[in-house]
Amino acid sequence: MAVPVTILCGELGAGKTTLLSGLLESTDRDIAVLVNDVGAINVDADLVEARTDFDTGEEVVALENGCICCSLGSELSRSVVRLWKEHDFDALVVEASGVGEPEPIARQFVRGPAGGPYDLDAVVTVVDARRFYDTFAEAADAPIREGPDETGARPIADLLLEQVEFCDLLVVNKCDLVDADERDRVVALLETLQPRAEIATTEYGAIDPGTILESDRFDLEAASESAGWKRAIEAADRSGSEDGRHDDRSEIDRDDNEHNHGAHGHDHHDDHDHHGDHAHPTPQDRYGFQVETYHRRRPLHPERFEELLADLPAKLVRAKGLCWIAGREKQAITISYAGSETTLEVTGRWIASFPEQRQQLYREGQPDLSWDEEWGDREVRLALIGRNLDVAALKSRLDGCLLTDAEMDADWSTFANRAPARMGETIIVSTDTGGSDGGADADRKSSSSED
């Protein structure tokens, strides 16, 4: 019988190790633990060993000097398979580093060598209630604005939202550091960002082991597609609306967001009844969180778009999707905004940029692909998540970044353009809080790979 696996994610300092230590002390199951930290000294592994009854420490497999979801990915698979061969245990918990993305880790247990002896049971993300509130939930009043580091590394806020958006259970920890309204606002935003996940609130990482272990929550396809921004774009596609002017939020909330919030003690079943004249407001309604989409089949002017990214409204919490930027006719560029920074990264090519024969093959494999006779699949398609956000004003500003009719007929290669041009190349634009006329503070990270 396959051993159930729980992947434990969350930013540095969120309380993952405290939660894990308490879990090991409060359950009678035999649990194997794999812990990873990003430093040369594996502090998390030391903390876990100090709080367990293991005599030798052999049951704690610590991977040092890297992140298990990337540079040590193969070592992860080897380690957990070796652990399974050499020890008998009831469950495995993998504590990822604070800068680890959960999806690549999860895929190793679904499609990699570890998928044989193991069965991925759940992906759990731990959130620091105080920090999350200050960074995201109350962005209009207390924004945290940190520029990119000198290496152009991916923004931590972006990684945190990736951890939130790919999980089955969200544990809102350190609730003793927020008041009830702040806690509820954090929960409401998490529901907006990840409608499918169950949410539990706690203090000091205290949680019932049954909530974490052998819950049978994980579904790779559902987890991959359940982020609020993805569901908003899919809802817009189903509506057939060119600019996504419809109630995305109600469709998102209605599907999967009926669940009990553990220590929060709030059953949202009635909140998500959108039918009839007396429908109850959702938590998102009560706190002003909204999900909207923006869809245009005209390219963005690279300079005007970068200026917009340097001056995004504080009430915007999340923006993600695909961009068509003039001068980058081959490159499908993914945009990801979180905290105060926007990442632009080439993640593929537009099908329309391939030779006609290859285009036909791709289109035959994707019969529902939206296609324009002149521009093919090139488009700007974004999901916008905010709190009391003036969506019409933001869409108007985005429209102002589109090429004018005269610019459509111009030579696009003459535009000053810092957008990434190759697979693996990324730029990060930091929002300027000093006013609406700020220029972009951009950093660039690239690899030697060509598209």
Q: Is pLDDT larger for residue 170 or for residue 246? A: 170
pLDDT at position 328 over 90: yes
Give the model's pLDDT for residue 183.
94
Give the model's pLDDT for residue 287.
67
Q: Give residue-wise pLDDT tens across range 361-380.
A: 999 988 888 899 999 999 99
Averaged over 230-243, what is the pLDDT? Answer: 69
Question: Could you tell me the CA-to-CA distances from 259 to 18, 42, 211, 264, 346 in Å, in that order?
Answer: 25, 36, 13, 11, 37
Place of tokens 């809102």: 172
Using a 10 angstrom Cβ sphere, with 0-12 exposed, 13-18 middle and 19 or more buried, the burial of residue 240 is exposed
Q: How far apart are CA 85 and CA 167, in angstroms?
A: 28
pLDDT at position 332 over 90: yes
Q: Give residue-wise pLDDT tens across range 29-42.
A: 888 888 876 665 56
Cross-strand bridge partners of residue 200: 171
pLDDT at position 151 over 80: no
Whole-number mean pLDDT of the chain?
A: 78
Question: How sure is the predictor about 54, in pLDDT bands with cuts at 50, 70 and 90?
Answer: low
pLDDT at position 124 over 90: yes
The maximal CA–CA distance of the chain, rounded, in angstroms, is 74
Q: How far apart are CA 349 and CA 145, in angstroms?
A: 32
- Most confident stretch, 66-80, 242-256, 280-294, 301-315: 301-315
Q: Are strands 441-445 and 426-430 parallel, antiparallel or unpaired?
A: antiparallel
Q: How far apart are the first and last CA of the chain?
A: 44
pLDDT at position 277 over 50: no
Residue count of the chain: 451
Q: How far apart are CA 320 and CA 338, in angstroms?
A: 9
Question: Could you tell me the CA-to-CA distances from 165 to 21, 127, 189, 197, 373 in Å, in that order?
Answer: 25, 12, 11, 9, 34
Q: How far apart are CA 196 and CA 252, in angstroms?
A: 9
Averaged over 394-419, what is the pLDDT? Answer: 96
Give the model's pLDDT for residue 52.
62
Averaged over 264-285, what is the pLDDT? Answer: 43
- Most confident stretch, 28-37, 235-244, 411-420: 411-420
Averaged over 5-34, what is the pLDDT? Answer: 88
Give the model's pLDDT for residue 145.
33
High-pLDDT (> 70) share of the chain, %: 73
The stretches of 177-258 forming alpha helices (DSSP H) are 180-193, 209-212, 220-225, 228-239, 248-256
pLDDT at position 91 over 80: yes
pLDDT at position 331 over 90: yes
Question: How sure is the predictor about 68, in pLDDT bands with cuts at 50, 70 and 90?
Answer: low
Query: Which helix (H) or strand (E) element contains residue 43?
Result: helix 43-50
Averaged over 104-111, what is the pLDDT? Answer: 86
Least confident span in 34-48, 64-78, 127-141, 274-288? 274-288
Count of other CB atoms within 10 angstroms of residue 370 = 14
Least confident span in 21-25, 42-46, 279-283, 337-341? 279-283
Question: Could you tell me the CA-to-CA distances from 315 to 81, 141, 384 in Å, in that order?
Answer: 46, 9, 11
Phi/psi of residue 413, nearest 5 degrees: -70, -10
- Most confident stretch, 25-29, 112-116, 247-251, 327-331: 327-331
pLDDT at position 381 over 50: yes
Q: Is pLDDT larger for residue 157 or for residue 444? A: 157
Per-residue tokens: 444: 């660039």
Per-residue tokens: 85: 């061969």
Check: CB of residue 209 under 8 Å from CB of residue 121: no
Give the model's pLDDT for residue 253.
37
pLDDT at position 283 over 70: no
Give the model's pLDDT for residue 284.
59
Q: Give residue-wise pLDDT tens across range 187-215.
A: 999 999 988 899 999 999 999 988 888 88
Question: Could you tell me the CA-to-CA distances from 384 to 257, 349, 436 in Å, in that order?
Answer: 19, 23, 19
Question: How sure is the predictor about 50, in pLDDT bands with cuts at 50, 70 and 90?
Answer: low
pLDDT at position 126 over 80: yes
High-pLDDT (> 90) share of the chain, %: 38
Give the model's pLDDT for residue 139.
53
Phi/psi of residue 186, nearest 5 degrees: -60, -45
Q: Judge if pTM exceeds 0.75.
A: no
Domains of the chain from N-terminus onward:
3-230 (3.40.50.300), 297-445 (no CATH)
pLDDT at position 107 over 90: no
